[in-house]
Structure formats: C-alpha cells, structure tokens
Structure 1
C-alpha cells in the first residue's frame, strides 16, 4: 500500500520540480551569470532560467530536539533460562501484557545536501535517552480455557540509552507560495537492552504555504504546514536481550509462589469435600497437577534469581500520525523548525535549528 502511495507522487515531484521550487519560480531566462555552487546538479539550468535566487543554499547542518511517545503491542515473547526453554509456560499469552509504551528524548544531528534542485539527501545521527513502561498480569489457563491461576498486575519502567543513525531523502515541489514534500528515511538503533539493532522506517508527506514577514528581506518568511507521517519497525522478526526479573519486578517471585500455593490449597479443599462432583474433582486434580508443574519448572530454572535470555517481537499499535508544523527562515543561512504529531497511541514533538551554506566552484 505504501508503494502505491509514494510512487505516483515521486514521479510528479521529479518531473515538476525541474521547473518549480518551494516558493514558485518565474520563467524569465537569463544566461548572463554562472551558477556559483558545486550543487545542486542542474544548478546552472536553474540559473539560466533566472530562478537560482529561489534555491536554498546547497549544504546544511541541523540540530533537532525530538521527544516521542508510542504505545506498543507484544506479539511474541520467549524465555531461555540456562539451557531450559520456558516458552511453554512463560510467553506473551501467559504474561498477559496489559500496557506497553515507550518514551524517548534525544538530540538529532543531520547533515544534508541538495543533490538536485528538487531532491535533498541527508545523513542523521541521534543520541537518545528513553524508557519502556510495562504492565502485566500473568494468568494461566487449564485445558478448557478457564483461568486456574492469575497474579496481580505488576508494573515496571526500564530506562535506556541508545544511538541511532540513518539516511534519508526529501522531494519537494512548490508553486506561488504553496509547497509540498515527501520524505523518507531509514535508521537503525543500537541499545544495550537488545543484542540486535532495530531498523526503523519513517515516511511523511507535507503541504503548506509560505508568508513573507518583511518587505525588505524576501528571505524572511514563515511556512506553516500540515501532513501525515508513517513510522514502523523494519524487518520485524523480533530481537533478543537479557533481563533479570528480580530487578524489573522485585515482588514477582514471592507473589508467584504464594498465589500458586494458595490456589492449590483451595483446590484441595474442594477435592476433599464430599459434596464436590466427580467431574469437578477430576478437573481440580488436573489443575493442581498443572500448577505443581508450572511452579517446579519456574523455580528450578532460576527464572527470578538469575539473568535470563529473552526474545521479543513488538509492534506499534498505530503507525500513522497527523503532523502540524512550521519553518521560520530568517535568511539564507538560518532557519528554525517546529513540528508536532499526534494520534491515539502516538505523540511526536520536534524542534530544531538549521544552518545552510554553499561551496563554490573552483575559479569563482
């Protein structure tokens, strides 16, 4: 679906942007001067048409602050304690995650260049501090689907540091003060919590209009815009890491054993009651046998007291946000940007400063 969305717009931008930029170009031809900078390619053609003053300076550095919140869904969870696979007892279904969300705060550094008059390419690097908040209420069911043991809800937050880096490109088109853009970037995040890096794809489309703020300085303007952003994990095959349950959920060990022993004792009272029917007695005996197996397996594995390996597959509950933002350009060199994205299960805030410059051709 994303390919069907992006390809037609990309073709339109590539063709039309040969003739227009984000503020609108006149069709006055002028061959009296030479375009001074090494980029963009076809810069001289733009100069020949008398429209070079509408181009941004070709190179830029950006420093942005980014804050994000996302709701997540755990679709698969596996545990390995030593050489013992506990997936049959401890998994996404039995752990019963009631809430999983992540927050990140970070500084994003970006270097970019206008390779073509309508095409910008960039590299990004981010330092991130964040946290993952998890709530779960473990429950085990018997063969008939009835809950035979349920623990109280536990919550925990794990903080982490991460580094992210990636590449991206932006295609632009504009006419008579209106502008639109399509942006796509791919990044990878490295954190101590996970053994493997996480791939992340971001795609966005924006539409806006520029308003001049000074009659004397035509480069001083503001461009509010709105748009949509798609973000999701790439190669969602899951990732592995290590965890110590006693550090994350310090009360889980005692509560687990108390609840099991209490449930077994309650079942045994009904089993010993002469008024309990034979089918019900057999059901309770089967439950107690299963509970003993769960308790012995978990305790013997050292699940609560040792560091264990885990595998997790998580997905964003929502992948699309609505974006609102602005570009405030002071002159050809400096620009301020702010953007806010919102959805039911996501929030995104970005603000940053951009500096642009040109590298002149030899001999100029």
Structure 2
C-alpha cells in the first residue's frame, strides 16, 4: 500500500539545512598578535559592508570578507511522528484515524544540494539565502488496529511502502556571531519553504543551530582550522493537507484488494464479538459507566476502521478516477540532536567544511565549499 501523502511530510525534514560557514569577526588579543592588531587599526577599511565595518576594525576586530557563496551537500536520516490523520475519498467526509492507523519504524533518508549566497550586514550579523534541490527515499510501516470489548487492540492489516520524491527549496537565514582570540559563538537560524508536487502549498520549516568553537592558526598567513560542537534543532509547520489519485497509492490493486478483504473480515469478527459481549450483559451491567465506555470505544474504533476499509474498497473499484483527500500533523521524533564539525580555511577566500550530527533519532552529515570576496 503506497501511502504517498504520508511520505511527503517525512521529506520535509530534509529540505532545510544549517549552512553557516565558520567565519566570524574575531577580536585580536595577546602580545604576540600586537603587530596584526596595529595593522588592522591603522589601515582604512576598503569595503562598503559590513555596516560599521571600519568602526569594528578600529576596535581591533579582524573581519572576514563581506560577501561569499557556498555550495553545500547535506545527507540525513530521521524518524518522524504523525498525528491527527484524517482521510476521505472522492471529496467525501474525512474521518479521524488516530489510534486506528499506527505508524512503526517510519523513517526518511535524503540528500540535498543547495547554493547559499551571503553578506555580512553588520560585523556580528551574517544574512544569507538558500536555493536548493533535494531527493529522498522514504520508508513507512504501519497498521490498522481495532479493539475488542476489553480494549485489547489487534492489528488487522499491515502495510508498508518506500517512495522517492524530488523538491525545490528556498530559504532565508541569519547568524549572529562573535569571536575573541580565536574562540567563537555562532547562533545560526533559517526558515525555508519546500515545494513538493504532492502538497497543496509549500511547507515551511525552521532550523536553529548554536555552535561553540575554536580556531587554530597555521604558520601560513590566513590559513587555519576550526573545530566546534553544538546542537541542531528542527521545527516543522505541523499542518499538511492535499489530494492524490488512488492509482498512485495502490500500484498493485489486486494485492491491495486481497488485504482489504481480509481486514474487513477481521473487523466484522471483532464487531460480532463486541455485540455478543454487550448483549450478554444484564441491564444493570450495561448501565455501568465502565462497560458503557468500553462498548462506545470499541464501536467508535470499529466504525472508523470499517469506514476506512470501505472507502479503500470503493476507491479500488474505480481505480482510474478515484482520489483520496487527507490532512495530518507531523513532527520530528526528536527536535534536537548533537553536532560536531571542522573547517579548513586555505586562505581568506576559500574554506572547506564538514559536519556530522548524531544522538537521538536523527543522523546527518554535511560538507560545503565556500568562496569569499570583499563587497
């Protein structure tokens, strides 16, 4: 069963990345750096950006070139949680399927390439844009669950799928940062909109990545290596809705029909068990709040499962023309994970960076090449 609309939301975790290169305005300190400090203070600042750049250099800050462009590659694997799933067929009523459809071992692996132009607007604030293309492979495993009168839930139908998507991402970001004596703090953040064909409108995500690092100079002028540690936080705009053709969800209609028929039989058996239990109670036992709650819970869940299966069954009978409408909310299983990284600066123009994220339910890797110039 190809639940394509559920796969799309997993892709969104992959399309916005934390792409700040570790250059910063560094306060020159120490006696061994007095000559460099004097030259920075005495030489006129030759560029229009950043604003207040000349004032910063007079106070002993060594500024990076004020503009740059980088090419970034990003890979990630992440788990996700899906809630408030509602599904309808052929523009009919939508049914909430919480508890009925349960997701297990659902994850996405994806890669993205983006271009990031940036400028230093102020000596301690970098702003940038993101334009990228991404692709993803998504695996979903789930089941349809129904209860009996004792509230024991049973899986009546398993389904799983793997699908691939492509998308385009546009984003804007900024990074407040400061450095003293080669030690630095950066607070990178960006918001991105991802355009996927299967969604009604582009989806929005927000990335926040604090980092604390240290830069070690080499003997070669303007050449150094930086190391850092930090965190990576992903926030997704939770609402997603859209419409898809049934034939895209069920490429093997015959196999899907067999599964649906078997699940309908199991739901009917559960309903018969619940009805037998209820009819076997006395009037006094039926009046007990606990028994009434069990009966109503079981009937409600069995009705939802029956509506879902009947909707799929009807849609399969008109495969070429049927559609499914959906809405849902989603969130990363873990919003935060831990990151470590390093950057080699060949000179003030060229930098090569690598970063890895791990711990929690998300693993990621990024590398980038940046070129900087005065503006």
**What is the TM-score with the length of structure 1 in the denominator?**
0.78
Which shifted more, 347-356 or 99-108? Answer: 99-108
Aligned residue-pair number:
326
Residues of 1 paired with 2:374 and 2:204: CA distance? Answer: 33
Q: Which residue of structure 2 aligns with residue 13 of structure 1?
A: none
Structure 1: gaps of 5 or more residues: 1-19, 360-364
The answer to whether the aligner puts 1:141 opposite 2:139 as a matched pair is no
The answer to whether the aligner puts 1:342 opposite 2:358 as a matched pair is yes
Deviation at 1:242, TM superposition (A): 1.9
Match of 1:22 among 26, 39, 53: 26
Match of 1:227 among 230, 243, 248: 230
Q: Is the 8 A contact 1:81 1:303 kept in 2?
A: no
Residues of 1 paired with 2:176 and 2:269: CA distance? Answer: 68
Deviation at 1:311, TM superposition (A): 1.3
Q: Which residue of structure 1 aligns with residue 196 of structure 2?
A: 191
Residues of 2 paired with 1:312 and 1:184: CA distance? Answer: 26
Match of 1:218 among 217, 221, 226: 221
Residues of 2 paired with 1:101 and 1:189: CA distance? Answer: 19
Match of 1:65 among 73, 86, 99: 73
Superposition misfits of 4+ residues, deviation over 4 angstroms: 25-32, 262-272, 289-296
- Report the CA distance shift for 1:249/1:351 in structure 2 as closer, same or farther (over 3 A): farther
Q: Which residue of structure 1 aligns with residue 138 of structure 2?
A: 132
Q: Which residue of structure 2 aligns with residue 253 of structure 1?
A: 257
Deviation at 1:170, TM superposition (A): 0.9
Q: CA offsets per residue over residues 66-112 of structure 1, 9 Å max, x none?
A: 01111111112111211322415xx1321221232222201011000
- Report the CA distance shift for 1:293/1:168 in structure 2 as closer, same or farther (over 3 A): closer
Structure 2: gaps of 5 or more residues: 1-23, 287-294
Deviation at 1:265, TM superposition (A): 6.7
Match of 1:302 among 282, 293, 315: 315
Q: Which residue of structure 2 aligns with residue 240 of structure 1?
A: 242
Q: CA offsets per residue over residues 197-237 of structure 1, 9 Å max, x none?
A: 11111111111111123x2x221110011111211113x23
Residues of 2 paired with 1:262 and 1:39: CA distance? Answer: 69
Q: Which residue of structure 2 aligns with residue 115 of structure 1?
A: 121
Q: Is the 8 A contact 1:202 1:230 kept in 2?
A: yes
SS of 1:77 mapped into structure 2: strand
- Report the CA distance shift for 1:300/1:257 in structure 2 as closer, same or farther (over 3 A): closer
Match of 2:181 among 167, 171, 176: 176
